Amino acid sequence: MSAHPRLSLNQATIKHASLADAIAATKAAGISSIGLWREPVAAVGLDEAARQLADSGLRFSSLCRGGFLTATDATARRAAIDENRRAIDETATLAAAGAEGSVAALVLVVGGVPEGSRDLIGARSRVADALTELAPHAEASGVQLAIEPLHPMYVSDRAVVSTLGQALDLARPFPASVVGVVVDSFHVFWDPAVLEQIERAGAEGRIASYQVCDWKTPLPADVLLARHYPGDGVVDFATLTQAVERAGYTGDIEVEIFNADVWATDWTEAAIRTAASFDAAVTPHLPAVVPA
Amino acid sequence: MSAHPRLSLNQATIKHASLADAIAATKAAGISSIGLWREPVAAVGLDEAARQLADSGLRFSSLCRGGFLTATDATARRAAIDENRRAIDETATLAAAGAEGSVAALVLVVGGVPEGSRDLIGARSRVADALTELAPHAEASGVQLAIEPLHPMYVSDRAVVSTLGQALDLARPFPASVVGVVVDSFHVFWDPAVLEQIERAGAEGRIASYQVCDWKTPLPADVLLARHYPGDGVVDFATLTQAVERAGYTGDIEVEIFNADVWATDWTEAAIRTAASFDAAVTPHLPAVVPA
């Protein structure tokens, strides 16, 4: 079995799998790249995780996630910066352990409005300040900080960055190799400016990752778990994927699904289903793969 | 009891009240203006509704709602245009029946992506076409079509217009007296461009209505019912209200809340609570009222 060569399985899609099980499921589905999360990496320790990744022969497409940079309290703020420095180090180690074509990208979910605050504008400016603090360490480590705009329904409790344009504005002071953006179909498909901002992201060389999953309504009771396999909802993957391709992105494309039903599936089955949905909904809009 | 003179109670806040009961609750709370919905107006008939409104001495601040203009099917599309023409006529009648200062504004919730379609861009262009069809009748009737951008979590099933900037782009071909926009705090507070777009809306003379209610998480299972009294959530009413004022808006400010708990409250109590929450969260950011 062989999946599309640019497909990467983001580990969140099989959230309850250990790192070893996630790697096994990814390989069993013929997928050649994996996006990791910090928690399952920490569960086995970074060195062991890097060893498992190296042994797997898989590419590493990103680490999720840094961020949560909006605290007002000085101690909490310092702790967040330190945590992100560790995440940068982990990203560098894992990218070095992955197969050729691995990418040292740390996905940043920037954080919401602190409890009791209504100051969205202030929270955003603290994100900008934190990027300035983190950028030198990222640059020295060869890691790209990848700002992920999240759907505006998460603005108050998860990410005060809601659009690709806003993420690019935040990235502007930094070299593209140090601060990029994530284009996640679920989070940005609704944006009337999405196509021009994808073009801009490409022109600036800042597309760190293209992630695909689908949107459909009604939303589940927990809106964090509202994502679906590509093709199961209303996202126009033709238009988005072609825009990302035209923008010059040639890297891995992650499928990242938060969905209780998907999480309840056998991991290998979920990985196989991921590859099949990708082939049906995304592959037709990618350049033809020339057999090796 | 007397509420802020610019406060208007949008009838959706006391959804299950008849028109007569809604008028009585509004007056009992000392509120001097009301925003009506088509269904309770239709329940008594337009003429009777206009008579009740005229007898009440209340101003009329808007009619909810027209829109749902995204159908692809020619018959459904024609039916939607016809329905909106009737809504324009109702708006003109009700505005004429309201007290001095009434506003002939028809709020448009433009509609989502039709069932089975993924063509968001096409749906948006059908909204533009429908505005072109409706504008002459609105102009002849002295009615302003008020495009309401809805929060992007409603983009697929309710409104393919998600930002104020997008609404203003749609309005651009038409005179401001014919096509305006609604600034609803719940729908636009998250937008990184909201302050500049409020300024633009004011400069173009297109703010048809300023509506206030609050956002907080977790969202309820039915995300349509996620609105709260001003002050109960994270919306920064100081910044938004000052921006709307600076933009030159001097009209009524509606409180429109979709919330199962609010709907379960006694109507007069809900109206009184509305006035109190407005006084606490919004009034401090409005110019001082000079006693008559």
Structural domain harbouring A232: 7-285
Q: Establish if A291 belongs to a structural domain.
A: no
On whether residue B227 sits in a domain, the answer given is yes
For A9-36, the pLDDT digits (tens) are: 999 999 999 999 999 999 999 999 999 9
Write out chain A residues lying below 8 Å of B233, CB-based. Answer: 156
Q: Report d(CA A238, CA B74) in Å as an integer.
A: 26
Look at residue A291 and tell me whether its pLDDT is greater than 80. Answer: no
Please tell me if residue A162 touches chain B, with a CB cutoff of 8 Å: yes
Give the model's pLDDT for residue A246.
98
Q: What is the pTM of this model?
A: 0.96
Predicted local distance difference test score (pLDDT) of residue A247: 98
> pLDDT tens digits for A94-128?
999 999 999 999 999 999 999 999 999 999 999 99
Subunit contact A152:B191, Cβ cutoff 8 A: yes
> Is A208 inside a domain boundary?
yes
User: What beta strand segments (E) does chain A contain?
Assistant: 7-10, 33-37, 59-67, 105-109, 144-147, 179-184, 207-212, 214-215, 227-228, 253-255
Residue B289: per-residue pLDDT = 81
In a domain, A149, yes or no: yes
pLDDT in tens, A154-163: 999 999 999 9
Count CA atoms within 13 Å of residue B242 on its CB side: 6
Nearest CB to B221: which of A124, A166, A221?
A221
pLDDT in tens, B31-69: 999 999 999 999 999 999 999 999 999 999 999 999 999
A193-230, pLDDT tens digit by residue? 999 999 999 999 999 999 999 999 999 999 999 999 99
Q: How far apart (Å, rounded) are the C-alpha atoms in residues A282 and A11?
A: 19
Asked if residue B230 is part of any domain, the answer here is yes
Percent of chain A past pLDDT 70, that is, above it, reads 99
- Beta-ladder partners of A228: A214
User: pLDDT-derived band of residue A290, with 50, 70 and 90 as boundaries?
Assistant: confident
Whole-number pLDDT of residue A263: 94
In a domain, A186, yes or no: yes
CA distances from residue A17 to A36, A45, A62, A72, A106 in whole angstroms, order as listed? 11, 15, 17, 35, 21
Q: What is the mean pLDDT of residues B256-283?
A: 96
Distances (CA, A) of A204 to A132, A169, A198, A199: 19, 11, 10, 9
The rounded percent of chain B whose pLDDT value lies above 70 is: 99
Predicted local confidence at residue B292, as pLDDT = 60
Does residue A262 lie in a domain region?
yes
Question: What are the tens digits of pLDDT across the range A66-97?
Answer: 999 999 999 999 999 999 999 999 999 999 99
pLDDT greater than 90 at residue A292? no
| Residue B214 contacts A where some CB pair is shorter than 8 Å | no
pLDDT at A235 over 80: yes
Q: Flag if A119 and B236 touch (Cβ within 8 Å).
A: yes
pLDDT tens-digit profile of B180-229?
999 999 999 999 999 999 999 999 999 999 999 999 999 999 999 999 99
CB contact under 8 A, A156 and B217: yes
Strand boundaries in A174-270, DSSP class E: 179-184, 207-212, 214-215, 227-228, 253-255
Whether B1 is covered by a domain: the verdict is no
- pLDDT, mean of residues B241-270: 97
Q: What is the ipTM of this complex?
A: 0.95
Mean pLDDT of chain A: 97
CA dihedral B75, B80, B84, B87 (to 10 degrees): 110
Q: How many domains does chain A have?
A: 1
What CATH code is carried by the domain that includes residue B174?
A: 3.20.20.150
- Residues of B with CB below 8 A from A114's CB? none
